[in-house]
Amino acid sequence: MEKNIRLIKTGYGIVIQDVHKVTHHSVSNMDLPLLSLIFASILVVIRGQVSLSLSVRFVIYEEVPNDTLVGNIANESRIRTRANMTTEEFETLRYEFLDQSSMENLFTVKERTGNLLTSGRLDREKVCPFKELCLLEFDVLVHSSLNVIIVSVEIEVMDKNDHFPIFPSKVVTTSMIESFNNGSTLTLSEATDLDSTSINNIQSYEIIPNNGTFYLNASRKQNGGFDLKLVLRQSLDREIKDFYVFHIIAKDGGNPSNMGSVEVNINVLDSNDNYPVFNQEFYTSNVKEGSVVGTTVVQVTATDKDIGENGQISYRFSSRQTDPNVDQLFSINSTSGVLSVKGNLVYEPNKSYKIYVDAMDQGEQPQVTQTTILVTVLDAGNNKPNVRVNFLAQTNAEIINNISVVYVLESSPQNSVIAHVTVDDTDSGQNGLIGCNLSDNSFSIKQLTSGKGYILSIKTQLNREQIPSHNITVTCFDHGTPQLSSSVFFKVIVTDTNDNAPTFLKHTYFASIEEGNVIGFIVDQVSAEDIDIGRNAKIMYYLDKDSGGKFAINSNTGVITANTVFDRESALRHLFTVLAVDSGNPPMTGTATVILTVKDKNDNAPEFDVPSFQFFITENLPGDVSVGTLNAKDLDEGDNKKISFSISPEYESTMPFVIYSDGLVKTARELDREVHNKYKFNIVATDHWYTCTQ
């Protein structure tokens, strides 16, 4: 019959007690660096006869606190009734795990009461990955001097919704050509959820916003996952909008539901869907008879909203001209659109040349637009009008390199007058009647009802960031035959107002830092730009209050430094907002998000899961028989948590057991219970830096 043996832990000493004697093994006080050395012992007992076998079943939710009562083995198995015990016999029963297993990391059996308690983190996804039903099974030895009973325990672990859906990446960037038809699709990767039961796994997806250019088609697959397709709902137009951003949300079926998201960025690629557009529907120009070859007659200008080769424009004469002499008298520069004199021009009364010019882009299937130039050859004896432009005082005009330059604030309202135009013509009759036009459609010229010249005003809202300057030609012409004209050129510089907020170069900055850092360690550097100029573009950087005082930022450089010492085991990630504020009046602000990941450092020692290990083995078995497995944990991650086991050096030559690095314990030779019925020795758990002895 087996002896009744107990292990009692007292301070740094371990007492082994049986019915015949008590032996004290004391461990001297040692310098324990970081309190990382923990002592335990292994007790090997030779089994006796089993008189009765029973079974019980319990149900418990995962993630409950340590020492949560699972149930009472004695009550649930009705051991007293089934074994026909007296009260005195029942009270002498003792309860312990029959076999050393991983269950001892999760549960504790109270020796005297038979209460089964949780002793470690009960993670259903770890002990029963991807199983709808999670059953943990083990045996408990119930024994006294008269009874040896084995109770088979079955514990059903119920799932909790303790995991969030996670997409393969936080941001997905892709592209679509603007010519794609409605209903075109892009395939997205689905999210994953580590919860085991189907109800706590992903149940649905949605797109935010859900009323935009795209919608989400999420269909179930046979394996329970989803096919995610992004479907084009509305036609794309790159010239109106060339970039889309939205979020895909994955929701599980828990109560409350957990959610995960991914940001989707779509760049719209150009197709050649726009024609070149001339800045004037009709061009008129006058040129003196006898002008030398190369004299500029007029310049035509066209623009194309497409980009790349689709937006590059060349000019040519149309193949169909009403006047067969156009090619001999004029030429057009294919790049600049300048029409110049090629042949000898002769004045003819009531004679004008109507010239058709094509603007063609360079796309694979070129788009072509046509305009008309009406050129009148003037008699060299006519007088031109004399044109003068007088800028208003508030426009702050000056002369630079013999060119008049006027400065106009981009926030100036429409119809604001910037100049007065005076035209003098000494001719009389039709030769003295004057009309004027402008070369830039952003401005207009109107004749005063008093007949005292013209006013030049702003026609459309100015935008310095799009067009910082305008080259304006005022052309005034008489109504004589031939018609004569004069032009005045000046330049409008659009001055800045603070109408743009700073923009960070990234929406989100990802940074990392090793735990245990020094204060002042550089975490990252953010940078923003402002398309305004001057003080309106001078940027200062600040941290939002969500940084919690854990960081500091250089307001001039955007360098972010640590203001505290980080501990990965306390918090793996930190998210906060940075602000970029310009110096305009009033100032404008842009924001970005910083996500800091704390990297692991080997600053935690291994810890055994239990204060002592106890194994049972039958006598007279050959050597190399498995006795059990040791278990320990380390709060670090990666290689820092890899643990190796070994027998304490002072026991290596005396113990008939072998300890493998993975914690497996085997016999080194055949054991004889009558010679030695139990063995006790110390073991060591070591990670890459710290050591734990037990």
CATH fold of 171-269, please? Immunoglobulin-like (2.60.40)
Write down the CATH superfamily of domain 503-599.
Cadherins (2.60.40.60)
Burial degree of 222 (CB within 10 A; 0-12, 13-18, 19+) = exposed
Residues 6+ apart with CB under 8 A from 431: 382, 383, 425, 478, 479, 480, 481, 484
Model pTM? 0.38
Write down the CATH superfamily of domain 6-160+605-693.
Cadherins (2.60.40.60)
Query: How many whole angstroms separate alpha carbon 641 and alpha carbon 687?
Result: 6
pLDDT score at 644: 87
Are 217 and 183 in contact by the 8 Å Cβ rule? The answer is: no
Instruction: Please list the alpha-helical segments (H only) found in 155-264.
Output: none
What is the per-residue pLDDT across 21-77, written as a single tens digit (0 to 9) for each?
Answer: 333 333 333 332 222 222 233 333 334 444 677 899 999 988 888 889 999 999 999
Maximum Cα–Cα distance across the chain? 142
pLDDT score at 338: 95
pLDDT score at 428: 58
Query: How many whole angstroms separate alpha carbon 278 and alpha carbon 299?
Result: 11
pLDDT score at 392: 82
Are 450 and 422 in contact by the 8 Å Cβ rule? The answer is: no
Are 332 and 339 in contact by the 8 Å Cβ rule? The answer is: yes
Are 164 and 191 in contact by the 8 Å Cβ rule? The answer is: no
pLDDT score at 429: 62
Beta bridge partners of 324: none
152 token code pair: 């088979």
The side-by-side arrangement of strands in the sheet containing 13-17 is: 6-10, 13-17, 22-25
| C-alpha closest to that of 375 among 335, 331, 313 | 331
pLDDT score at 491: 93
User: CATH 2.60.40.60: which residues of the chain?
Assistant: 6-160+605-693, 171-269, 277-378, 386-495, 503-599
Element (H, E) at 525: strand 522-525
CATH fold of 386-495, please? Immunoglobulin-like (2.60.40)
pLDDT score at 179: 81
pLDDT score at 511: 95
Q: How far is CA 527 from CA 325, 500, 532, in A?
A: 61, 16, 16
pLDDT score at 158: 83
For residue 639, count other CB atoms closer than 10 A to its CB: 10
pLDDT score at 28: 32
Query: How many whole angstroms separate alpha carbon 524 and alpha carbon 560?
Result: 5
pLDDT score at 52: 73
pLDDT score at 299: 95
pLDDT score at 110: 92
pLDDT score at 244: 92
Beta bridge partners of 298: 339
pLDDT score at 199: 75
pLDDT score at 16: 28
What is the per-residue pLDDT across 608-635, written as a single tens digit (0 to 9) for each?
Answer: 888 888 889 988 998 899 988 988 887 8
Q: Which residues of the chain have pLDDT under 50?
A: 1-50
The side-by-side arrangement of strands in the sheet containing 52-61 is: 52-61, 148-158, 135-143, 94-97
Residues 6+ apart with CB under 8 A from 240: none
CATH fold of 277-378, please? Immunoglobulin-like (2.60.40)
pLDDT score at 196: 66
pLDDT score at 380: 62
| 52-61 vs 148-158, strand pairing mode | parallel
Which value, to the nearest 10 degrees, does the dihedral of the CA atoms of residues 667, 672, 677, 681 take?
A: -30
